[in-house]
Structure 1
Amino acid sequence: MKNQRTAILASIVLAGGAAFTALAPAAQAATFNPCSAANHGRLKYSTGSASHVVFAISSGYSSNHVVVTECVKQGKSWKKVSATTGRAGTKAFARPGAKREGDGKSPTGSFTLTDAFGLGNPGTKLTYRTLHSSGDCWGSTPGESHYNDYYAAAKCRSTDEDLSATARRGPYHQAVVINYNRPNPKRGYGSAIFFHVGGVTPTAGCISIKESKLRAIMRTLVPYDRMIMGPKSALFRS
C-alpha cells in the first residue's frame, strides 16, 4: 500500500488540509453508544477476551469519517470511556472479507490488538517497538518475505512501508497494529492496518485520531483487547 499512502500524503500537503476542516465535534458525532448497544446484544462481532474494545464506526460503507469510542469491561457489561472523531481509508470501508492490497479501504470486522510502535512507549502494556531514525519497515508486497509484518533493513523495499520515515512525518509518532490479515496473512488481502496519529485527513486503510487521544487509549490497552471497525449497519443489529 506504499504508493497509495505516498500519494495521499502528497495530496494532503498540496491541499493544506483545508478540505477537511469541517469535522463535527466529537460530542455531536457520538450520538450512538456502541458500549450500550453491545450490552443489549446488538453487536454482531465477538469481543473475545478483551477488557477494552475500541470501536471505529462510520455512517456507511462510503464514509471515511468515523467516531472512535473506547469501552471498558466492568463485570459483564461495557462502559463508555471516551469518544472522538477520526478518519478511515480514503475509499472508506470494504465489506467483510473484501479488503484487498492497495484498495484504499479499511477492513470491516473485529480484530485483536497485541503490538504497538512509535517514538517512545506512552505507557501501553501492548508489546511496544521504539522506532529508529531509519531501518524500520513493514512488508506490504504480496508474495515477498515479511508480508504484513515488521522487518529491519538498511533500506525498505520501495513497495513496503518505511515506518521510520512515516514516524518522522507524524502519523507513526504512535501506532497500534490492528491484527487484520495477520499473523497468518493471505496474499494480497491487505497489510499495514494501524491505529495511528491523525484524525483530520483520510488514510490508506488505517484508523487515525489525534495523538493525545491515541496516547490516552494506548495507556489502557493490554494484549488481545480489540478494535471493532466498520459501518454501523455492518457491526450492529437494528
Structure 2
Amino acid sequence: MQTGGASGSMRAGVAVAACGVLLMSLAACGGADGGSASKGDGGSGGKAAHAKAPTVDLKRIPDVGNRLRQQIPANSRQVVAVYGEGKDSADSRIVLYTKNGSTWDQTRSWEGHNGKKGWTTDHQEGDKRSPVGVFTLSDAGGVLGDPGAELPYTESASFQAPHYWAKSHWHDFDYVIAIDYNRMKGTSPNDPTRPEGQSKGGSIWLHMDHGSGTSACVSLSKSGMQYLLRTLDPDQHPVVVMGDEADLKA
C-alpha cells in the first residue's frame, strides 16, 4: 500500500497537473451528460447487491474462452471477471476469482453496469461502449481517503464529478481503480496520457455505481469497491477480464 511520503506527494502532483484535462477524463468515464435513468444515489448505487460467493474449486474461470484466457498473465492470481448481459446491454455481473494452487476460488460477486450501449472489440472515444479484453489493474484513487488499498492510491478532490451532472453521479469517483486500457501504468488514474491516441478513448475505470450505464467504465457498489481496493494486491498481478457473453466465450 502506498501512502504519504515523497512518493505520495509525486502522485498528488500528477493529480493536480491533470486537473486541466479532468473534465475530458471524467466525460470518458462517467459521461458529461449526467446519465439517464438514474436509480438511487451514487454512494450506494442502484444495484448494490453483493454476495460472498460459495467456494468452488475451478480449474478455469467460467465462461471465458481460450482467446481471452490465453491473455491472462501466467503469474496473475486475482481476476476480476465482468460478465456483460449482452452486446448492447448496460447490465453486468462482476466476480472476483482468486487462484489457490492450481484452482480458482470464486470469492465475491456484485451486480453492476458497463457502457450505456454495451460492449465493443474496437473501442473508440465517445462510443458509449466498454472495451472487451484482458487488462491489468495497477493504480487506484478517488475523492475519498485511502480505505486501505493495496494498489497505489491517489486521494484528490480533482476526481470530483462536476455538480452540473445529475446528483446521482456526484459520488461516482469517490473510489476508482484504473483499468489499464490506453493509459500509462504507475500514474494516477486521472493522468490524461493516452499512448494509443485520443481517438481510442481512455480513462476507463472501475468506479462506484449510480444505477445505470456508464460511458465506458464498469461500476459497482461502494462496498464492492472498498472490498476490491482492500483485496487487489499488486504482488498477485490482478487483471480484469471483461466483455459480453458471446465475446467472453469466444
Tell me the TM-score range normalised by the shorter chain.
0.7 to 0.9
Corresponding residue for residue 229 of structure 1: 242
Corresponding residue for residue 92 of structure 2: 66
Q: Deviations along 1:33-89, whole A, 9 cap, x unmatched?
A: 9x6652798453222132211011113211111010000010121110011110001
Pairwise CA RMSD of aligned residues?
3.3
Among 191, 201, 205, the alignment partner of 2:212 is 201
Corresponding residue for residue 164 of structure 1: 160
5 Å-filtered alignment, 1:1-238, equals 2=27, 5-9=31-35, 11-12=36-37, 37-38=60-61, 42-45=65-68, 46-48=71-73, 49-94=75-120, 96=121, 98-118=122-142, 119-132=144-157, 136=158, 163-165=159-161, 169-183=170-184, 185-187=195-197, 188-198=199-209, 200-223=211-234, 224-237=237-250
AA in 2 matched with 1:194: W
Change in CA separation of 1:66 and 1:124 when aligned onto 2, cut-off 3 Å:
same
Change in CA separation of 1:43 and 1:23 when aligned onto 2, cut-off 3 Å:
farther
Q: TM-score, length-normalised on structure 1? A: 0.72
- What is the percentage of aligned positions where both structures have the same residue? 28
AA in 2 matched with 1:109: G
- Could you tell me how far apart the structure 2 residues matched to 1:5 and 1:43 are? 33
- Could you tell me how far apart the structure 1 residues matched to 2:209 and 2:64 are? 32
Contact (CA 8 Å) 1:114, 1:222: kept in 2 or not?
no
For residue 173 of structure 2, give the secondary structure of its aligned residue in structure 1.
helix
- Structure with greater contact order relative to length (CA < 8 Å, sep ≥ 6): 2
AA in 1 matched with 2:150: K
Change in CA separation of 1:26 and 1:165 when aligned onto 2, cut-off 3 Å:
closer
Contact (CA 8 Å) 1:56, 1:227: kept in 2 or not?
yes
Contact (CA 8 Å) 2:209, 2:221: kept in 1 or not?
yes
- Could you tell me how far apart the structure 2 residues matched to 1:16 and 1:23 are? 8
CA shift for structure 1 position 235: 1.6
Corresponding residue for residue 188 of structure 2: none
Give the number of aligned pairs: 198
Contact (CA 8 Å) 1:87, 1:201: kept in 2 or not?
yes
- Could you tell me how far apart the structure 2 residues matched to 1:122 and 1:24 are? 18
Runs of 5+ consecutive residues of structure 2 not aligned to the other structure: 1-23, 164-168, 185-193
Change in CA separation of 1:87 and 1:50 when aligned onto 2, cut-off 3 Å:
same
CA shift for structure 1 position 16: 5.7
